[in-house]
């Protein structure tokens, strides 16, 4: 095969125009194929084989509840409970009316059912306390319900002031609502953001179902286009546009944030694109400078880059034909191809320049370079190709497809180096170098490595032992959330939710054959110390309903007429509002203590009564809408009735009971610790009882194990396959060991360095290890082949120069990924840089010392391989 490769180079040198024309046609055809067939999925669930046990359980859950697909979760935070409820309700209604962007919209913590029956989910004591609070507020609720306006509010305050004057309204009861109203009106008058909640009227914020939260959720299933890099962007834009149209802005007391699987995925691509120009510019500049230093000719640099670009286009087309579409992992074939493709180009380019000192004609110099390198280039490409293909049998489809594309890419890269690169160098031959491309100044280092090889090898052995001893300290962080920008809206919102035990997204779901079976399993799992809460459809049927409904019924009897008056007053005129405010100001001024909340509110009412109409309109906008929300909530709560599983509304029942009767159990972890270790304990405890458990918590842990196992399996298979290939070619176990030992050593040293700097191995940076294996194997094959051919003084040779600059080009170019704003990409750049530094050290220091003096006598300098 090696002579065939040399003959191919010779043909390209003799017929450069023909080779260039064929290469151009092939590249154009590949470009058309890649452009016409280009497809990329951002679906992370497609990265792992659907046949893995935990994925099978996941698919069963998805089949039972098909409505739970990719989600967009809208988190609505209000300055007051009323603002949060009104904002979420209005936004959900607007989103539901937009089928072009949303397939389904639901309110998991709100809506008519929870508004009506929510009070029943509190304890009996909570229900009783809430009922008493409503009854106690009846004297004020009635007038407010009959006249929900600024006039009605002023009249209510007048009634309250009369009670204060008689001593019937103690300060402990009156001060909180008066102080809150005074503070809000003072802030509004001063031009500061002002918000008011009527919850204080019910005794310090209400209780049970009336203790309305200031956070509400809207869950949507958006319409996506997986052929786009940000498939959820149109739906997210629609949510934000609706929020703006509804006035749901921080300035108005409402903050709307997006999270969920769809925004998280989109945000990841946005962070990848952020400052991508800087990363790309740094990568290109580093590559150009390194190639120029290596070859000392811009023409050689241009030939290598053109060959690499053409090969990348052809590889992309072959990859699309082979696997159909790229995924989040397989697109990493680009840095793998460029790194190794540039290496082949540098090897041939540097050797070509070195041979120019001996052979003045470019064709003769290229022929000599091809004869010297064809064997090592062919063996290196074959070994690297086998190494990548070793990922094919694993369950990690993302990396398996990467292995197929990168493996085929090595064939393309080798053919490009043997055809297009020589043709380009013949058509635009560089000027002959004026100095040797080796480095005679490294002669002392060469001699030192031979004389002191035992010392050098001993030091590396100690480093390897230390690295192996530190392996148990290597952190494997396969939580995909840790690869995302923590400052992004979706990620920051998710982190906020994770701190909320009532809305923790790291849940476990289990599919049971029926609701009774689900209830029994829930009771069993709830007894585990790692489980904080177990939910089934039965959890939405309140207990002790008879007693609670009796309490609510008593309140409804007393408050029904007050909350639903037969005759509501007509809207007031501005004059009527002024009169009511003035009356309330006088009553409060007479009843309240100087400096008290009532006294402050009296002064504010007096200012409103005499102020411009715009001030009263602003006060109306501040106080009346939350009053309407409170009255609606009270009416709904007093309409509570018996709840059974059968009477659950379809939108609630459908979330927990499938069409075929299967039922879902959902578990939330106990406590507030949401670290990876705590999550692992939670998952392990549950799966010991329910092995088919699934859900976000399980998927995160199981995916980590699947990926780690895939890399171990592929690593062992690659080591075996490459060893057999090397043994077949080299026919020496010793020389196979000389080739692979430095690769293994550089891997251990890289992991040991990760321990020292505290860098965990994750989904993104683990891709650096196939590149380390490929580049490292190629480098050491070059040295071993040169050594067995009789070459000595390896550090002084053009080969060492080519290896040094090849590693520098790959390391500096892809180390520039370290500049990325995306944490996963930045960590990939860091590990790539570290691994290539150790690969270079092992190639230039450990390998020559390991090889020792060349076979057959004194060392011979030169470039022969």
Calpha distance 297→722 (Å, rounded) = 35
Instruction: Decide: 540 and 648 in contact? Cβ < 8 Å.
Output: yes
For the residues 451-480, what does the mean pLDDT come to? 88
Please give the pLDDT value at position 227.
62
Whether 618 maps to a domain, the answer reads: yes
188 plus 314 within the same structural domain: no
SS (H, E, C) 603-653: HHHHHHHHCCHHHHHHHHHHHHHHHHHHHHHHHHHCCCCCCCCCCCCHHHH
Q: Give the pair of three-digit tokens for residue 510.
A: 């289990």
Please give the pLDDT value at position 380.
86
Is residue 864 predicted with pLDDT exceeding 60? no
Calpha distance 369→364 (Å, rounded) = 9
Calpha distance 449→853 (Å, rounded) = 10
For the residues 351-377, what does the mean pLDDT come to? 89
For the residues 225-249, what does the mean pLDDT come to? 87
Instruction: Decide: 605 and 186 in contact? Cβ < 8 Å.
Output: no
Backbone angles phi and psi of 474, in degrees to 5 = -65, 130
Please give the pLDDT value at position 207.
42
Is residue 860 predicted with pLDDT exceeding 60? no
Please give the pLDDT value at position 766.
81
Please give the pLDDT value at position 465.
94
Please name every residue paired with 74 in a beta bridge, in sequence order, or none if there are none: 218, 258
Percent of the chain exceeding pLDDT 70 equals 93
What would you measure as the largest C-alpha separation in the chain, in angstroms? 116
Residue 618's pLDDT band (boundaries 50, 70, 90)? very high
Residue 154's pLDDT band (boundaries 50, 70, 90)? very high
- 228: helix, coil or strand? coil
Whether 294 maps to a domain, the answer reads: yes
Instruction: Decide: 849 and 453 in contact? Cβ < 8 Å.
Output: yes
Whether 515 maps to a domain, the answer reads: no
- 357: helix, coil or strand? coil
**Tokens 């106080």 belong to residue:** 623
Whether 791 maps to a domain, the answer reads: yes
Q: For residue 538, which of 636, 666, 638 has the smallest C-alpha distance?
A: 666
Q: Give the pair of three-digit tokens for residue 662.
A: 């299967």
Last residue of a domain, one of 602, 637, 672: 637
| Chain CA centroid to CA 255, Å | 23
Q: How many CA atoms lie within 13 A of 326 on its CB side?
A: 22
| pTM: predicted TM-score of the whole model, two decimal places | 0.74
Calpha distance 724→860 (Å, rounded) = 30
Instruction: Decide: 406 and 768 in contact? Cβ < 8 Å.
Output: no
Is residue 698 predicted with pLDDT exceeding 50? yes
Per the structure, the complete domain to which residue 138 belongs is given by 134-211+554-637
Calpha distance 128→122 (Å, rounded) = 10
335 plus 474 within the same structural domain: yes
Please give the pLDDT value at position 506.
83
Last residue of a domain, one of 590, 612, 637: 637
Please give the pLDDT value at position 174.
81
Using DSSP bridges, classify how beta strands 531-535 and 508-512 pair: parallel, antiparallel or unpaired: unpaired
Instruction: Decide: 577 and 681 in contact? Cβ < 8 Å.
Output: no
Please give the pLDDT value at position 43.
66
Q: Give the pair of three-digit tokens for residue 265.
A: 């995925």
If one counts every other C-beta atom within 10 angstroms of the C-beta of residue 442, the result is: 19
Instruction: Decide: 827 and 759 in contact? Cβ < 8 Å.
Output: yes
Q: Total structural domains in the chain?
A: 2
Instruction: Decide: 525 and 531 in contact? Cβ < 8 Å.
Output: yes
Calpha distance 701→696 (Å, rounded) = 9
Whether 675 maps to a domain, the answer reads: no
Please name every residue paired with 216 in a beta bridge, in sequence order, or none if there are none: 76
Instruction: Decide: 727 and 668 in contact? Cβ < 8 Å.
Output: no
C-alpha angle with apex 500: 498 to 504, nearest 5 degrees? 50
* pLDDT tens digit sequence for 590-604: 998 888 888 999 999
301 plus 447 within the same structural domain: yes
For the residues 284-303, what does the mean pLDDT come to? 86
Buried (b) or exposed (e) across 184-216, using 16+ Cβ within 10 A? bbbebbeeeebbbbbbbbbbeebbbbbbbbbbb
* pLDDT tens digit sequence for 35-66: 888 887 766 667 888 889 899 998 999 899 88
Calpha distance 143→630 (Å, rounded) = 14
Number of H helices, E strands in the chain: 33, 7
Backbone angles phi and psi of 641, in degrees to 5 = -140, 180
Backbone angles phi and psi of 668, in degrees to 5 = -120, 140
Is residue 740 predicted with pLDDT exceeding 70? yes
Calpha distance 516→658 (Å, rounded) = 14
SS (H, E, C) 267-292: HHHHHHHCCHHHHHHHHHHHHHHHHH
Is residue 206 predicted with pLDDT exceeding 50? no
Q: Give the pair of three-digit tokens for residue 594.
A: 């100087």
Length of the chain: 865
| Long-range contacts of residues 231-235, Cβ cutoff 8 Å, at least 24 apart | 231/42, 231/262, 231/265, 231/266, 232/70, 232/72, 232/262, 232/263, 232/265, 232/266, 233/266, 234/101, 235/72, 235/101, 235/102, 235/262
206 plus 274 within the same structural domain: no
**Tokens 């090696």 belong to residue:** 2
Backbone angles phi and psi of 215, in degrees to 5 = -130, 130
**Least confidently predicted of 92-101, 189-198, 229-238:** 229-238
For the residues 614-619, what does the mean pLDDT come to? 95
Please give the pLDDT value at position 855.
64
Q: What is the DSSP letter of 232?
A: T
Last residue of a domain, one of 590, 619, 637: 637
Instruction: Decide: 582 and 163 in contact? Cβ < 8 Å.
Output: no
Residue 861's pLDDT band (boundaries 50, 70, 90)? very low
Mean pLDDT of the chain: 87
Q: Spell out the alpha helix ranges (H) of 731-790.
A: 733-757, 768-788
Whether 743 maps to a domain, the answer reads: yes
* pLDDT tens digit sequence for 784-837: 988 888 877 888 888 888 888 888 877 776 677 777 777 777 888 888 888 888
Instruction: Decide: 622 and 525 in contact? Cβ < 8 Å.
Output: no
Is residue 201 predicted with pLDDT exceeding 90? no
Buried (b) or exposed (e) across 535-557, using 16+ Cβ within 10 A? bbbbebbbeebeebbebbeebbe
Torsion of CA 188, 194, 199, 203, to 10 degrees: -60
In whole angstroms, how far apart are CA 614 and each of 156, 180, 383, 617?
Answer: 22, 22, 81, 5
Q: For residue 772, which of 715, 708, 706, 713 has the smallest C-alpha distance?
A: 715
278 plus 353 within the same structural domain: yes
- 523: helix, coil or strand? helix
DSSP per residue, 582-608: HHHHHHHHHHSPTTSHHHHHHHHHHHH
The sheet carrying 254-259 orders its strands as 102-106, 215-222, 72-78, 254-259
598 plus 740 within the same structural domain: no
15 plus 143 within the same structural domain: no
CATH of the domain at 801: 1.20.1640.10
Q: Give the pair of three-digit tokens for residue 134.
A: 């409503």
Residue 343's pLDDT band (boundaries 50, 70, 90)? confident
Instruction: Decide: 72 and 223 in contact? Cβ < 8 Å.
Output: no
For the residues 555-559, what does the mean pLDDT come to? 90
Calpha distance 622→643 (Å, rounded) = 36
Residue 497's pLDDT band (boundaries 50, 70, 90)? confident
Calpha distance 666→261 (Å, rounded) = 18
Q: What is the DSSP letter of 846?
A: I
Calpha distance 565→81 (Å, rounded) = 25
759 plus 618 within the same structural domain: no
Q: For residue 706, which of 35, 24, 100, 44 has the smallest C-alpha distance?
A: 44
458 plus 351 within the same structural domain: yes
Percent of the chain exceeding pLDDT 90 equals 45
């Amino acid at each position: 095969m090696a002579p065939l490769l040399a003959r191919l180079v010779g043909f390209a040198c003799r017929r450069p125009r023909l080779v260039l024309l064929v290469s151009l046609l092939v590249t154009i055809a590949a470009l058309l194929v890649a452009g016409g067939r280009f497809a990329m999925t951002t679906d992370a669930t497609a990265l792992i084989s659907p046949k893995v046990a935990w994925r099978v359980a996941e698919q069963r859950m998805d089949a039972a509840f098909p409505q739970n697909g990719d989600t967009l979760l809208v988190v609505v935070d209000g300055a007051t409970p009323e603002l949060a409820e009104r904002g979420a309700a209005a936004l959900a209604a607007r989103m539901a009316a937009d089928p072009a962007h949303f397939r389904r919209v639901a309110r998991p913590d709100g809506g008519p059912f929870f508004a009506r029956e929510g009070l029943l989910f509190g304890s009996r004591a909570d229900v009783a306390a809430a009922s008493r609070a409503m009854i106690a507020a009846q004297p004020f609720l009635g007038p407010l319900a009959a006249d929900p306006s600024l006039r009605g509010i002023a009249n209510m305050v007048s009634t309250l002031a009369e009670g204060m004057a008689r001593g019937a309204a103690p300060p402990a009861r009156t001060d909180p609502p008066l102080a809150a109203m005074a503070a809000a009106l003072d802030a509004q008058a001063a031009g500061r953001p002002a918000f008011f909640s009527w919850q204080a009227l019910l005794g310090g914020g209400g209780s049970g179902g009336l203790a309305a939260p200031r956070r509400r959720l809207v869950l949507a299933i958006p319409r996506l286009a997986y052929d786009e890099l940000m498939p959820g962007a149109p739906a997210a834009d629609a949510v934000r546009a609706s929020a703006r149209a509804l006035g749901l802005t921080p300035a108005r007391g409402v903050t709307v944030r997006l999270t969920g699987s769809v925004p998280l995925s989109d945000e990841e691509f946005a962070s990848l694109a952020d400052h991508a120009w800087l990363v790309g510019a740094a990568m290109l500049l580093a590559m150009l400078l390194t190639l120029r230093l290596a070859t000392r000719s811009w023409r050689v640099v241009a030939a290598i880059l053109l060959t690499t670009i053409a090969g990348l286009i052809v590889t992309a087309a072959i990859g699309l034909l082979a696997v159909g579409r790229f995924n989040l992992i397989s697109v990493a074939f680009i840095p793998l191809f460029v790194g190794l493709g540039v290496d082949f180009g540098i090897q041939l380019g540097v050797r070509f320049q070195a041979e120019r000192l001996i052979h003045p004609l470019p064709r003769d110099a290229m022929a000599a370079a091809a004869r010297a390198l064809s064997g090592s280039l062919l063996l290196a490409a074959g070994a690297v190709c086998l190494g990548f293909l070793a990922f094919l049998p694993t369950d990690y489809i993302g990396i398996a497809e990467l292995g197929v594309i990168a493996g085929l890419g090595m064939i393309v890269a080798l053919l490009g180096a043997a055809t297009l690169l020589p043709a380009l160098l013949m058509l635009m031959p560089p000027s002959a170098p004026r100095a040797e491309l080796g480095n005679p100044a490294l002669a002392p280092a060469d001699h030192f490595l031979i004389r002191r090889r035992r010392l050098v090898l001993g030091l590396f052995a100690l480093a390897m032992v230390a690295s192996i001893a530190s392996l148990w300290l290597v952190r494997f962080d396969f939580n995909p959330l840790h690869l995302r920008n923590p400052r992004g809206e979706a990620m920051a919102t998710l982190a906020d939710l994770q701190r909320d035990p009532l809305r923790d997204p790291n849940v476990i779901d289990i599919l049971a054959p029926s609701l009774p079976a689900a209830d029994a399993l829930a009771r069993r799992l709830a007894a585990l110390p790692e489980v904080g809460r177990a939910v089934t459809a039965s959890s939405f049927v309140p207990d002790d309903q008879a007693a609670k409904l009796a309490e609510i019924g008593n309140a409804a009897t007393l408050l029904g007429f007050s909350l639903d008056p037969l005759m509501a007053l007509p809207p007031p005129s501005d004059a009527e509002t002024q009169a009511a405010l003035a009356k309330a100001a006088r009553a409060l001024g007479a009843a309240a203590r100087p400096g008290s909340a009532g006294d402050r509110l009296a002064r504010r009412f007096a200012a409103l009564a005499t102020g411009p109409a715009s001030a009263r309109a602003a006060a109306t906008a501040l106080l009346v809408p939350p009053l309407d929300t409170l009255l609606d909530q009270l009416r709904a709560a007093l309409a509570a009735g018996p709840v059974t599983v059968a009477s659950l509304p379809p939108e609630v029942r459908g979330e927990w009971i499938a069409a075929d009767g299967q039922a879902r159990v959902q578990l939330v972890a106990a406590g507030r610790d949401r670290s990876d270790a705590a999550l692992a304990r939670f998952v392990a405890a549950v799966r010991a009882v329910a092995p088919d458990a699934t859900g976000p918590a399980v998927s995160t842990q199981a995916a980590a194990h699947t990926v780690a196992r895939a890399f171990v399996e592929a690593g062992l298979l690659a080591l075996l396959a490459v060893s057999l290939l090397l043994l077949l070619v080299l026919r020496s176990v010793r020389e196979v060991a000389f080739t692979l030992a430095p690769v293994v050593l550089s891997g251990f040293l890289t992991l040991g360095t990760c321990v020292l700097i505290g860098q965990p191995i994750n989904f993104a940076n683990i891709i650096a290890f196939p590149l380390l294996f490929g580049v490292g194997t190629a480098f050491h094959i070059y040295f071993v082949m040169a050594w067995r051919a009789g070459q000595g003084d390896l550090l002084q040779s053009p080969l060492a120069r080519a290896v040094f600059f090849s590693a520098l080009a790959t390391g500096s170019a892809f180390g520039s990924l370290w500049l990325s704003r995306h944490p996963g990409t930045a960590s990939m750049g860091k590990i790539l840089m570290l691994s290539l530094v150790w690969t270079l050290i092992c190639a230039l220091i450990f390998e020559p010392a390991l090889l020792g003096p060349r076979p057959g006598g004194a060392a011979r300098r030169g470039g022969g391989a």
